Amino acid sequence: MKPVIVKDKIALFTPEGFLDSTNASQLISAQDVQLLKFHHLSMVLISLKKVVFFNKNGITTLLTYLTKLQKEMHVTIGFCDYTEQQYEAFFKFFDQKVSFSLFKTVDVALLFTGQIKIQDGKDHVLIYNEDLTQRSLQAIEIFNRGYSPVVVHTLEAFHERAEEKDQFIALVEQTYLGVMTNTIAARLNEYSVIYYLKGFLDGSVMDQFDFTYHRNCLKIGFRCFMLDATRVSSLNIHAMNFFFKLLKMNAEYEALTAMIGLDIDKVPIRFIKELATAGMLFFKDEHEFMQSERSARCQSAVRRRESIQNRLTKSVVTRLPLLVAATMETLQIMIDKQALKEEMKLQPFQPVGEGLMAGSIAFYGDIEGVISLIMPKALVKQSCALLIGEASDDEKILSHALSELLNIIAGKSKRLLKEEGVSIDITLPKSYLSIDDLCKLLHGVEGVQVNFSFDDYPFTFYLSP
């Protein structure tokens, strides 16, 4: 079936009638693949507008082809133009673990791709998703593409605001941003990092896992790591080497490593015993781990960074103006206020102000370092109002929003550095329960501290090795 190319960015396949494994295998031909490679696409989507019925076998077959395209062309893959029942079916088919993208319509998909518009803040997009992480992720993507996201936290609020038709250029609901790559996916839950494993684990898992990324997560203070093995069929001795390496790295930082959802009947019992002896903890699921005493202790534990290098390199310092500019431009847009720069010094970290909240994110590649943002809770509320969607004093919500703000700033920094020929990757953001946790983490480290003020509120940008 020849795809329709939408605005030079999305390849759209529109099957008709029934979608099962038989006709799904005939949907994307070799000629179609060649056509797709000719265009500089960012998405390949399957429209379900004319599909009367589909089953899991049909979707799984399609995903086999789509995943191959994703790996070869570095495109987003997924589905669009579905009904509410079809949207819910995707999550039932894959036990709530959907790794591809879902866009309610093609017009919604276009919001997340194509040329970035000039950021004037006039085009508002209303966003709702029952999952907090998805809400934040969608808001970040929308914001980064030049729109002004308005996030609501209940379906009722979404329907109520949707009546204000003149206020929004688009409504984003029943939409899901997923990723399918040949690397091990990671996400943040509360104060833990979760890695998702699947299939038969062998020596290739060592290549799929980004150990540099993981060490940088440790570097900024993460101490709880979960390995979601729900979809692991079995593993061999070569995969054991991967686990031992991970456990050893975590032990250096006194970090906890837990495996959840593993069917131990599918794994040699001696492997389980060896992993347990090496420090691996086993839990039935994520909920059981998060409710455990070990998890609670781990979440509050912060250990001082042990690093051979405790000073910034010249190559990082020369990029300081760019990193500060990316931070302050983003904050000033979100707060709608101008900041006053007060001082900049090369020094150990010194907190400024009271009632402070903080978050850090690490970057690595051609240059590496850690960006920390420190500000009073009241300023966090202002700067993150765009992501929260409403006033909130809930520290968990504010902490999550602060993390997403760090994601936005790091993403913007990454794009600006790329324009200068500097390539970096970024870790998940880390927020801190108290400013004391950040002080402990940065003890003995010398970085660049830049102090600003927004009216009466202090704000600190700290760049450390």
pTM over 0.85: no
Residue 51 has pLDDT above 80, yes or no: yes
Residues 282 and 202 in one domain: yes
φ and ψ at 328, to 5 degrees?
-70, -35
- Supply 331's token pair: 């904050």
Would you call 90 exposed, middle or buried from its count of C-beta atoms within 10 A (0-12, 13-18, 19+)?
A: buried
Contact yes or no for 109/43 (Cβ under 8 A): yes
Q: Which amino acid is at 13?
A: F
Q: Return the pLDDT at 180.
A: 37
Average pLDDT over residues 186-200: 74
Residues 19 and 167 in one domain: yes
Comparing C-alpha atoms, which of 307, 305, 261 is closest to residue 282? 261
Would 283 be classed as within a structural domain? Answer: yes
Q: Which residues contact 159 (CB under 8 A, 6 or more apart)?
A: none
Q: What is the CATH number of the domain that holds 398?
A: 3.40.1550.10
43-47 and 10-13 strand pairing: parallel
Q: What is the CATH number of the domain that holds 117?
A: 3.30.750.24
Among 133, 150, 172, residue at a domain's last position: 172
Among 150, 172, 194, residue at a domain's last position: 172
- Supply 384's token pair: 């993150």
Residues 118 and 34 in one domain: yes
Residues 394 and 418 in one domain: yes
Q: Return the pLDDT at 356.
A: 92
Residues 417 and 387 in one domain: yes
Would 381 be classed as within a structural domain? Answer: yes
Residues 216 and 325 in one domain: no
Residues 42 and 99 in one domain: yes
Would 306 be classed as within a structural domain? Answer: no
- What gap in Å lies between CA 460 and CA 369, rounded to an integer? 16
Would 98 be classed as within a structural domain? Answer: yes
Structure confidence by residue, pLDDT tens digits, 379-389: 888 777 766 66
Count CB-CB contacts under 10 A for residue 368.
19
Q: Return the pLDDT at 170.
A: 94
Structure confidence by residue, pLDDT tens digits, 148-175: 788 888 899 999 999 988 889 999 999 9
Residues 241 and 385 in one domain: no
Among 172, 195, 225, residue at a domain's last position: 172
Residues 195 and 168 in one domain: no
Structure confidence by residue, pLDDT tens digits, 215-248: 877 877 788 899 988 878 889 999 999 999 999 9
Residue 182 has pLDDT above 80, yes or no: no
Would 180 be classed as within a structural domain? Answer: no
Residues 84 and 224 in one domain: no
Residues 359 and 417 in one domain: yes
Domain range spanning residue 417?
314-464
Please give the torsion angle defined by the CA atoms of residues 236, 242, 247 and 253, in that order, rounded to the nearest 10 degrees.
-170
Would 36 be classed as within a structural domain? Answer: yes
- Supply 156's token pair: 């009722």
Q: Return the pLDDT at 181.
A: 42
Would you call 428 exposed, middle or buried from its count of C-beta atoms within 10 A (0-12, 13-18, 19+)?
A: buried
Would 196 be classed as within a structural domain? Answer: yes
Would 177 be classed as within a structural domain? Answer: no
Angle between helices 269-278 and 237-252 (to 10 degrees): 10
Residues 66 and 143 in one domain: yes
Q: Is the dihedral of CA 67, 92, 193, 323 positive or negative?
A: positive
The count of structural domains within the chain is 3
